[in-house]
C-alpha cells in the first residue's frame, strides 16, 4: 500500500507541474483515488483501535489475575500494534497531502476557466 500511495503522490505532483495536463480528468481521478485512500485509512484506524483495545485489555487481565501465561499474547499484541500505528500514521499524513493537491488542482481548473 505504501508503494502504491507514494507512486500516486508522485504522479499527481508530476501532473501538477506539467502544463499539458488535462486538469478536469486529473480531478476526476484524484477524487476517486482520495475516496479509495480514505477508505483504506478508515479500515486501518478500525483495526488499530481493536488491537489497542485488545492490548490494554490483555494487560489489565494480566495485572488483575497475575496470569503470566498471557504474557506472550500481550507481547504479540504489542508487536502487531506498533506497525499498525506506524502504517496509520503514514496513511493519515499522506491523505492530508491529497487534500492539498485537491486545492492545487482546483486552482489550476480556475485558471483554465479564465
What does the pLDDT look like over 58-105, one tens digit per residue? 999 999 998 889 999 999 999 999 999 999 999 999 999 999 999 999
What does the pLDDT look like over 14-48, one tens digit per residue? 998 888 888 889 999 999 999 999 999 999 999 99
The residues, ordered by sequence, that sit 6+ positions from 89 with a Cβ below 8 Å of its Cβ are none
Backbone angles phi, psi at 45, to 5 degrees: -65, -45
DSSP symbols for 45-61: HHHHHHHHHHHHHHHHH
Q: Is the pLDDT confidence value at 50 over 90?
A: yes
| Domain ranges for the chain | 36-114
Model pTM?
0.79
Amino acid at each position: 500500500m505504501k508503494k502504491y500511495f507514494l507512486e500516486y503522490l508522485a504522479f499527481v505532483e508530476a501532473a501538477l507541474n506539467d502544463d499539458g495536463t488535462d486538469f478536469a480528468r486529473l480531478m476526476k481521478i484524484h477524487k476517486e483515488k482520495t475516496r479509495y485512500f480514505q477508505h483504506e485509512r478508515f479500515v486501518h484506524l478500525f483495526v488499530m483501535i481493536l488491537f489497542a483495545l485488545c492490548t490494554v485489555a490483555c494487560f489489565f487481565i494480566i495485572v488483575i489475575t497475575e496470569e503470566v501465561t498471557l504474557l506472550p499474547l500481550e507481547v504479540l499484541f504489542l508487536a502487531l500494534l506498533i506497525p499498525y500505528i506506524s502504517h496509520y500514521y503514514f496513511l493519515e499524513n499522506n491523505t492530508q497531502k491529497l487534500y492539498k493537491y485537491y486545492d492545487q488542482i482546483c486552482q489550476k481548473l480556475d485558471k483554465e476557466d479564465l
